[in-house]
Amino acid sequence: MLARAVLPTRSGSLAAAFLKTSSATIMPPKQLQGLSRTLQVKSYRQSTVFYRAMSTTLKPEERAGTFTPAAPSTTTQEKEELRDGARSIIHFKLSPNRHALNVPKLDPKEKVWENPTHHSVWTKEEVENVEVTHLPPADWTSRVAYTIAQTLRFSFDVLAGFKFRKATEDMYLNRMVFLETVAGIPGMAAGMIRHLHSLRRMQRDHGWIHTLLEEAENERMHLLTFMRLKRPGPLFRAAVLVVQGVFFNVFFLSYLINPKICHRLVGHIEEEAVRTYTHIIEEMDAGQLPLFNHVIPPPIAVSYWKLAPDATFRDLLLAIRKDEATHREVNHTFANLKENDDNPFLAEEEYRAKITTMGQPTPVAEKKA
């Protein structure tokens, strides 16, 4: 029969050996260590059989990803304490998150999964206290960025008809879907460039990459949420294709030339996003958008922002507006920093990542008594 023998973590690269023995007795660690030095997989076929044997002998709870991971060894903890610098994300070996392949579906019919990445979940007080702010341009880079942001907003308002008639629920949904298809580009492009810089220069990134990629993922989740409420047609999708191709390439090249202008531009664009969501919420409160009062947040939004079971569309917009306000502050801060400065948001991100993983944050909309 097959008996799994787990080697100590200090013994080397071979983590587990599956031995064919006549009993379930496991060989002593010293003999296993000696065996691990001589054991070699001679072909791809052998390696495939070897790992299949590993997967078939796992316990059901291990295959399902529901078991509780063992605490890290003392040696691992000591290394984490001695390592310099803050941690923006939890290492996968120390994280209680399940493997991505074992994440269950929330709604099998609609193919909705629980997002396994770390992200911020806001409290009721945090989402209610968002303010519409504006950072006045202080130098030529800020003036250039602000001018571009205002030009983009004016052009979109004209093309989408917001300058000529009163906005309806359908117009606002079109606006939110279209803008979120573009909003996820800056974080991904900037994070990719800094990632390549780190590889090419063989230097640390000082924590910017994770924040930028998390921003891109957050904006993508905004889009996926609104896609459950609005199905764009062929013309809409064609416009997205053209705008995405142009904006990504222009932003990519601009970031290579002057990252400060790019971060300042994103900061001003996020200012406009906060203003837009605030205006929508105010119109809902005034009763001018009655159809939105009957919209229920989709399961993907309830899972991602940890919304209450009876959350409304207004609660969803409050959480999204808080995300945009955070991106506003992050990008304005990055625009003030040098490229090799440390990311000042690492400590907060690490804290929020931990409480989000543990499922402890206060939901945005508390269930009414």
Q: Which two tokens stand for residue 351?
A: 């804290």
The DSSP 8-state label assigned to residue 42 in this structure reads -
Residue 180 marked ligand-binding: yes
Residue 99 marked ligand-binding: no
Residue 339 marked ligand-binding: no
Return the exposure string of 282-308: e unless at least 16 CB atoms fall within 10 Å of the residue's CB, then b: ebbeeeebeebeebebbbbbbbbbbbb
> How big is the CA angle at 15 (ends 12 and 19), to the nearest 5 degrees?
115
Cα dist. 233→172, 239, 267 in Å?
A: 16, 10, 30
Residue 62 marked ligand-binding: no
Residue 350 marked ligand-binding: no
Residue 319, φ and ψ in degrees, nearest 5: -65, -40
Question: Residue type for 233, please?
Answer: G
Nearest-angstrom CA–CA distance, 39 and 5: 14
Residue 219 marked ligand-binding: yes
Residue 33, φ and ψ in degrees, nearest 5: -65, -40
Write down how long the chain is.
Answer: 369
Annotated binding site for Fe cation: 180, 219, 222, 270, 324, 327
Annotated binding site: 180, 219, 222, 270, 324, 327
